Chains A and B, each alone.
Chain A
Amino acid sequence: MTPDLIYGLTGIAVFAIGLVGALCAQDRLRRVLALKLCSVGAGFVLVVAAWRSPPADPDPVPHALVITGIVVMVSATAVALALIRRLQTLEAEDDDD
């Protein structure tokens, strides 16, 4: 097992765990976390794509892609959390009535 294969398989496994969570979890917060796991898994695979066996330098392009992916996912998580809070407030107001 070369390091890139281990990391690649780990990435795919993490993605798969996230996928199951995103499809099956009931709790809203758990589903957001599952989606985050998916993005970590996809990031893993991209980082593996950058790996070159030493002494060769790693390929910088996938690193740039992963950073972009992280930024996108941070924004998406923020939006999802804001929506969840809003929905909880609305539902709490309904319960009071």
Chain B
Amino acid sequence: MNTKIIKSNNKKYLTIFIVISAVGIDILISLLMGYWSYSWLPIQASEAANYVDNLFAFETTIGTFIFLGCTGTMAWILIFNRAPKYDESNGQPLEGNVKLEVIWTIIPLILVLAIATYATKVNYKLENLGSKTKYNFGQEAPFIEEKKPFDFGPIDVISRQWNWEFIYPNGIHSSELHLPVNKRINFRLITDDVIHSFYIPAFRLKQDIIPGSVITYSLTPTRKGVFRLRDAMFSGAYFSQNQTNVIVESEDVFNKWINETVKKELQNGLNPAGRLYDKRLKNGNRGWATVEPAPAPKVQDVGLEDRPHDG
């Protein structure tokens, strides 16, 4: 009698021990994954980056916990609940457990509502997107008053099939985007052909550019360096060539660049797609149909195509 109680007690303690240590290991690995997740992302170079990375790390932690919890249980089952060969008997006939099912409906509900609330707060904090205003095709894109104040701008960002052009308030045209560090900068995103996307991974920011609309957008770079700007919305044949650099500089260096560049002559800017298209024509125009690339923009700062970048 006594030994039976001791045995069942021992089994109970063993179960509790296994569950607690499994949950403990799961929490530990999840926290580690959350910590590592920062290293999977590019360098942080804008105000948004820290918020996005924290949110991503938070989700990685919770996600890892759930993933390991589920797959760990599956692994346990695979090890201990395998049927011996030729054994075709049934398992424990459990039909369900309403309490358990209510729990695993409510906990995910609370969890996703918490994540979504946290993310909503981040959205309101950053407020990158200004307004989207339609205008008639062929006309100049209108100027829009921004509600939230900014320190510099607006810089016109013009994306084409397949090159970028940046026009500064003082009239500079450039093939690369020079920005002063730690200033909130305002942009007007414009295109006349197809949808493009203004995507700077190091800034963790992306905004589509829609033909027929002018979209205002603001962001604050927080780190000096060279970062890639990539078109992220498929825009046709030479889509993958539609990239340029963002150069974030101290205010002094930026002002010097503004003052010197404005005096330069206009010349053909970066246009790798045009070069590839010329090569294609020279090789007999083989391949499937494409529209002709837009001519290179006329710019004062031609930039450098293969500039080493930090992110």
- Say if A and B assemble together: no
